[in-house]
Amino acid sequence: MTYQELDPRTPVLVGVGQASERIGEPGYRRLSAVELAAAAVREALADSGADAGAVAGAVDTVAGVRQFEISAPGIPSPLGRSTNYPRSVAARVGAAPRRAILEVVGGQGPQHLVNEMAATIANGEAGVVLVFGSEAISTAQHLAKAEDKPDFGESVEGDLEDRGYGLKGLVSRHQVAHGLTDAPSQYALFDNARRARLGQRREEYAAGMGALFAPFTKVAAANPHAAAPVERTAEELVTPSEKNRFIAEPYTRYVVAREKVNQGAAVLLMSVGEARRLGVPEERWVFLHGHADLRERGLLERADLSGSPAAVLAVRHALEQAGVGVDELAVIDLYSCFPIAVSAVCDGLGLPADGSRELTVTGGLPFFGGAGNNYSMHAIAETVQRLRAQPGTYGLVGANGGSLSKYSAGVYSTTPTPWRADRSAALQAELDSRPGVEQAFQADGWATIETYTVKHGRGGKRTGIVVGRLEADGRRFLATAGDERTLGLLSTGEPIGQRVYVRSFGQGNRVAVDDALMDELFPARPAVLRDDYEHVLVRRDGHVLEVTINRPDSRNSLHPPANDELDQVFDAFFADPDLWVAIITGAGDQAFSAGNDLLYSASGRPMWVPKNGFAGLTSRRNMTKPVIAAVNGFAMGGGFEIALACHLVVADATTRFALSEVKVGLVAAAGGLVRLPRALPGKLATEMILTGRRLSAAEALEHGLVNRVTEPGQALEGARALAREILESSPTSVRASLQIMAETQGIADVVDAVTYPSPALDDLMVSEDVTEGLTSFAEKRPPRWRNR
């Protein structure tokens, strides 16, 4: 195809620019992220070869890559930040776009935005587009405590299409509970799985990582924008030392993406029609010949943790669309945050990963710099420059985001080509249809290691992270290890395929080399009542146990230590045959329980609940004996969820029930979202959940949410009276009744539920209580229950 045959709406890259600075070097200006991006945009405008002012005035769309400090909630900005990053940059270069976009999190962002904006231009929805990103992390950390620190904060008016963090599928509570939140640990799992698949020893695999990355350091050493322009040998990269300590095995610091950078990059796209109108010379034009955007399942759902099918499929499709093979590429840049991000693509495409072929144009993330999400914008800029110097050749940029989660690919050339839509949607459907892996969130029993890593903290602390499969059913689990024997297994030889023992706790799953060590590390807790609880009061009254949450100064809210004590108390209650009924209440007259201790949570200390749930009740499966909630005052959030989990509720007239979690950005995840709609009319339950509406004791009684309402301050006495009534019945019959109700709750057909063959009935028929009940009835005397 000739230039003259091109459709005027054909998208074309006409300008690229980069900007950077390093602390302590000549010319360091303490530039903000906005200023670095603006400098890169000015370079891109000038690079087009047209009048920069005219081009800036023609820009109708700007798209910014999300900076690291706005990539997740709670990340600090020690020097401040813009409220509208894309428009801040646009204003500095004289652009007044009608549309401004802030992209989601992920290193795929730069290439994805180029793919998307090219399609937008081809569809006639944009004419001139600037895509850019930047980071000033090095400066922000360097000047955070300086007396004369600059203020990078600015408030900018104008519409902003903020696409949010885009973290769905990248972060889970389960991973957080097991410390699997940092990128080095996540990627280490992949590299260790790959090593085992290849059958390589640790030393052999480390040498391969060094051989892969040593050529990257040579490229970085020659790149004026590199954050660490130092050439290193393969051995130096992977040999642990004081400066090159282990981060997460098998990674030493030198092979981990470098976060301290001051860098910005920009790409200028426009339609062929606009390029001609603005006078952009044709020798500046670079075309997108192939492109794709795909994503993987969540980390623990993937069938194979040793590779990245989505990345390989995305690159293959982009190459097929461009009509070229991998051997025809003159330029390649593969996202290189960690070795596996490169080697997984090399494995899938048949590319050598031994340094014999150049796989980066910048120097790669550990050496050029890889903070935040904008690395691949630099790769695109370098690729465009190289292709202009070699007209007619082809270049590939592969951009990775998340934990090998999202991959965007682009194939570029100066050779004119019409715009072609990709088949990413169909390919994504194919990926999504592939079978995943069933997970065991609470894992118990013998298992085998599937992959692993050992995290190395400062001060010598080590933590093992294991992904394994349960022997019983093959489900996958995530667990941690901290003892020296298990860490020794993970740090020497070949752990993958080894037999280990896993056990679940409220804080997560723990793994050990065998069951004996597990018992030694976590000895069984005797299920007996104590008299030295710090946050709970207990009182035995015959067959009744009274449990009082004793934190009145915090409205009886619960934090992990209090939850743990309550869990122990109820373990003892259900294990003790002489205790037939339990009552739970709150100290004082203000609150039964205000739920989670939000002040404790806000302090940054770890929050967790026992396996049996909030207060040791909300997730307890075998509630075989009746528990009565004596609700005095407010039962808010988790406090209400405790009451909902109890079999019976007595409330005093002052009681107010509410699920107030939505008021503080949470949800009632300890059972409120499930139990309340089953206990109240649907519309009322929904209103309470969505608004935090408070329900009075009288309303609760009307709707059957509570059994009895007492005078103010008399809830405990009311619960005691109810307990005495229960004690008049056979404890064996009470237990059997509770068991049969629980077993048949999910059976929709009434006859099926009635005829359900519960073992509780068989046990009851041979119990002494049956004989005693019938005998006492015949003899017209009170029964003497045996509870056997």
Instruction: Just list the catalytic residues.
Output: 641, 661
CB 37 within 8 A of CB 64: yes
Question: Which spans in 532-681 are helix H?
Answer: 560-575, 598-602, 638-645, 672-679
The C-alpha atoms of residue 136 and residue 685 are separated, in whole angstroms, by 48
CB 501 within 8 A of CB 518: yes
The C-alpha atoms of residue 705 and residue 242 are separated, in whole angstroms, by 63
- Residue 713 per-residue DSSP state: T
Give yes or no for a cis peptide into 250 (omega within 30° of 0).
yes
The C-alpha atoms of residue 84 and residue 733 are separated, in whole angstroms, by 66
What is the distance of C-alpha 764 from the center of its chain?
48
CB 548 within 8 A of CB 591: no
CB 510 within 8 A of CB 468: no
- Can you give the length of the chain in residues? 788
581: Cβ contacts below 8 Å, ≥ 6 apart: 543, 544, 545, 625, 626, 627, 628, 723, 726, 727
The C-alpha atoms of residue 476 and residue 468 are separated, in whole angstroms, by 6
* Pair of tokens at residue 755: 């005829």
- Cα–Cα distances (Å) from 74 to 69, 102, 666, in that order, read 9, 18, 15
The C-alpha atoms of residue 392 and residue 343 are separated, in whole angstroms, by 28
The C-alpha atoms of residue 95 and residue 55 are separated, in whole angstroms, by 9
Instruction: Give SS3 for 302.
Output: coil
Dihedral pair phi/psi, residue 196, rounded to 5°: -65, -40
Question: Which spans in 661-786 are helix H?
Answer: 672-679, 682-691, 697-702, 715-727, 731-744, 750-754, 759-765, 768-779
The C-alpha atoms of residue 708 and residue 701 are separated, in whole angstroms, by 7
> Buried b / exposed e across 253-287, counting CB within 10 Å, b at 16+?
bbbbbbbbbbbbbbbbbbbbbbbebbebeeebbbb
* Pair of tokens at residue 498: 């080894």
Q: How many CB atoms lie within 10 A of CB 205?
A: 21
CB 633 within 8 A of CB 591: yes
Dihedral pair phi/psi, residue 328, rounded to 5°: -90, -5
